Structure 1
Amino acid sequence: FEISDYLDLIVAEGHEETFGERLLDHASAQSDDELHVMDLYNLRAASRTLAALPTLAGTRGWRQETQELQPCPSIALPDDWDVFLERLDKRQRHEVRRKLRRGEGDEEAIEWSIVGPQADIQVEIDSFLALMREDERKAKFLSEPMVRQFRLSLAAAHAAGWLQLAFLTVDGRRAAGYANFDYLNRIWVYNTGIAPRFAALSPGWILLARLIEWSIRHGREAFDFMRGNEAYKSQWGGVSQPIYRLSLTRPEV
């Protein structure tokens, strides 16, 4: 649960109650040594598991505890970029417009793009990981097993058409990157990488603005920052919904 912002049981819609009943029946049939507690982490507020499973468990005498974990801000996107900007705080709106104008008028060529379906995705992932490693904290996070997980996850999403891997370049040099998932008409922000040497140009802000603008123009309904309460998420209009931990403890025999 440390690397997956959202987790849940994978159940066909409309079958949550039947699945929950059979899951609890199976769990109850195990010895107490084999299964005493079911611990479900990072359930979204809208999770059907969170809605159905506690009630089903309660009828079987299971003790339940729900714990609020981290906030997960997301932006409900309007149909128009200018409408989105008007929703922002006046100061934030001014900063966004100023940085975009500066990027467009700078002597250095600033461009951005989304990696296409024909790209050599492992090369692009390597480039993104290199940007992540420019942050000391993220460099420590990128252990060998974590890098392997990144490669597998991003490559699988790319093959399925769900990866939005975007880069901003300054005179052809990559200055910022966003690894997002484009799924269920929603953009899910997974991770970012920014080169500190380009900080004066605000490459992360410019790329984020372009990605939100792209999402609006392509009819996405939400831009989900996922876990974390970093200040920039609320500055961009993110509204927090918590994720939850659901613990179910079987009754004493």
Structure 2
Amino acid sequence: MALDNELSNGLQKPKQMKVLILGLPRTGTTSLRTLGLKPYNFYEIVKNKESGHFQLWLAAIDAKFDGVGQPFGSKDFDLILKDYDAVAASPSWLFAEELIAAYPTAKVILAKRPADAWLRSLQRSAFVVLSWRSWGLVGFIDEFLGLHWRLVNRIYFILSQGVPPWTSSAEKPLLDFYERHNSHIRSLVPQENLLEYSPGDGWGPLCEFLQAATPVVEFPHTNAPEDFVQHERANYWSLWLKLGMLVAKVTGLVALILLARACI
């Protein structure tokens, strides 16, 4: 996807990319803001929905995994990430090679945890939400929730290698992907530029690697699986409330028309 013209037409120079956190989802990625960085994660896609970030990431995925359109290069990622100096969480890990090539001076963090614990965390969070298959209706009701659903669905079906990720048959493909991904990151990044890190390690190794002062606050442990599900459930029911109101309006209008016709 060629974006050179858009980048040359008045967009500010991108911030210098400092940190790439390229571990898979649910590996702990929420501490960078405390260190003064401005990270890009999935919630930033939602914040930038009016700027087309959902469509950009879907186009990037289509190009890489389906061969549809031009693969994204450094200028394409600059367009998305120009206001940020770090990336973390989905969907950045899908483009580990491309991001490492685009930002060769950035430090790389492989946030990890034991494979079984990682899988259990996903099964208690994202996969619970993905199992609500009526999400497939959202595109007919709300454009951005529809794009949100499409992107999340694509990300996790790639992760589970095409097997419905909320099913037990996805466990082996998911664990295989986890091990392969981590090994691949190790093969791409020089040892001196890579930190393999678990959130349980606290501030010490992270601050030393990034040459940052150690914060006086406790290391954050946020985005628990239950909180994630609660947040998405609120989105889900707001969608159905919106649908109910739409149906009520249509039903009321039809009833009014029928009443008017009966009175003629």
TM range (shorter): under 0.3
TM-score normalised by L of structure 2: 0.26
- Give the helix-richer structure, 1 or 2: 2
| Greater fraction strand | 1
- Does 1 or 2 have the higher relative contact order (CA < 8 Å, sep 6+)? 1
